Amino acid sequence: MSELGENVPSYQKVRVGVQEPAAAVADVDAWKAREHYPDLLGGGGPLFGVALELETGGWETLTFGDATPQSAREGLSSVMRRRAANAAKAGDADAQAEFLRAAERLDHEVVDELTVVGSRYRVLRAEPYIRMGPTGPEPPRPSDPDPVKPKSGPSREEDRPVTGFVIDPLTESGMSEAILRVELLSRVPKRGLVPADVHRDAEAAQHTHPGGLLLPVEFMTVEYVDGDWRSTAATSPTPQAARDTLALYLRVLAPVLEGLDNEARVAYAEAADRLDAERPHEIEVGGKPIRVVRVERLVRIGPDGPEGPRPSDFDPDPPIGVITERDRAQGVDIDYDERPEPSEAVTEMSRLMRLEEERKARLRDD
């Protein structure tokens, strides 16, 4: 089966094709996961990013992972300013001015799409999902890429497979992914379990953006508390990156945020050491299981490309320019050159971060 139906628009087709060996193995793992982790649950609220429409077809993701549309708009403003700087280096004053005007507009208006220097940029939206089974959420699969060694620093944006990923409904996939896409596209949160406007927008999206594509899978850590699994961090591009994020939390953030005594600090540091040495998918810390889990993200696609923010999406903050103007009107004058004395908590966290950086430096030298 290469598509669903004979007269289905291209953006609504689900194409299945012959896979390369590695992709074929991953598709088999995906099929096995359906047996052991049969339930699909929402992985938290929607995520947002920025995409560029390509002349060759599809949309390329430039940024992704923001929790609100406004955060993604600020990311788009940063993209505009970077491209303005590149245009200036290339001696293209007209393009530089156009990119800067776009950035200035984003600083003062709620804009989810712009055409700049002949190209369309859009804030895009994706829904995260996690597979669940009798033993909890699905951990990484054997076929998921997983670097061998802990990293010495946080993952950069360019390290993420989602950055530069092309959202194109004509992309072929394996059978298991195709079935998953069809399942996710049919999902609408049950009436009464979510606010009425959220349910209304989800139903509308099935008609305005009936197609869809899965972004590259990412990973995050969740902890088991009071009979429920709860996320503890944002997503990471690989299982090891998720472990690195958890280890940093255990060594640097948890001692301050959780007010740990010396004994607990030692226990948390030992848990972080086990993460580095054994690279497990699950570890117990402070009596709580913490697991690295897979997160799938579905982008809906319509006749004009990927879905943007919905009216019901949580979006509490106005553009930065609006905030600045409001503060000035209220007589609030922020002097960014005058920095307050750091709190005791900030000072302690800085000390622990310095110790962590020294520890990593010693490991690199060994």
pLDDT tens, residue by residue, 85-137: 999 999 999 999 999 999 999 999 999 999 999 999 999 999 999 999 999 99
What per-residue confidence (pLDDT) applies to 327? 77
Q: Which residues contact 111 (CB under 8 A, 6 or more apart)?
A: 73, 105
Instruction: Specify which of 26-35, 65-74, 336-345 reaches the highest per-range mean pLDDT.
Output: 65-74
Instruction: Give the pLDDT score at 3.
Output: 45
pLDDT of residue 342: 83
Lowest-confidence pick of 18-22, 37-41, 155-159, 172-176: 155-159
Selected residue with higher pLDDT from 107 and 159: 107
CB 307 within 8 A of CB 301: yes
The model's pTM: 0.87
Cα–Cα distance between 26 and 142 in angstroms, integer?
8
SS3 content of the chain, % helix, strand, coil (to 5): 40, 25, 35
pLDDT at 2 over 50: no
What is the DSSP track for 223-239?
EEETTEEEE-S--BSSH
The tens digit of pLDDT for each residue in 308-327 reads 999 999 999 999 888 888 87
Percent of the chain predicted with pLDDT > 90? 68
How many percent of the chain have pLDDT more than 70? 92
Residue 210: pLDDT band (50, 70, 90) is very high
Confidence of residue 151 (pLDDT cuts 50, 70, 90): low
Q: Residue 58 pLDDT > 80, yes or no? A: yes
The answer to whether residue 171 scores a pLDDT higher than 90 is no
Q: Is residue 158 scored above 60 in pLDDT? A: no
The predicted structure's pLDDT at residue 150: 65
pLDDT in tens, 244-288: 999 999 999 999 999 999 999 999 999 999 999 999 999 999 889
Residues in CB range of 191: below 8 A, 6 or more apart? 199
Contacts of 300 (CB under 8 A, 6+ apart): 125, 127, 185, 205, 209, 210, 211, 212, 306, 307
Per-residue model confidence (pLDDT) at position 309: 98
Residue 154 pLDDT greater than 60, yes or no: no
Tokens representing 63?
């940024």
For 161-221, the DSSP string reads TTTT-EE-TT-EE-HHHHHHHHHHHT--PPBTTB-HHHHHHHHHHHHHS-EEEEPPPEEEE
The band of 1, judged by pLDDT with boundaries at 50, 70 and 90, is: very low
Can you give the pLDDT at residue 84? 98
Q: What is the dihedral of CA 338, 343, 344, 350, to 10 degrees?
A: -70
Q: Please report how many Cα atoms fall inside a 13 Å half-sphere around the Cα of residue 132, on the Cβ side.
A: 11
Beta strands in the chain (DSSP E): 15-16, 39-42, 47-53, 59-66, 113-116, 119-133, 136-137, 166-167, 172-173, 211-214, 218-225, 228-231, 282-285, 288-302, 305-306
CB neighbour list of residue 285: distance below 8 Å, 6 or more residues apart = 223, 250, 267, 268, 271
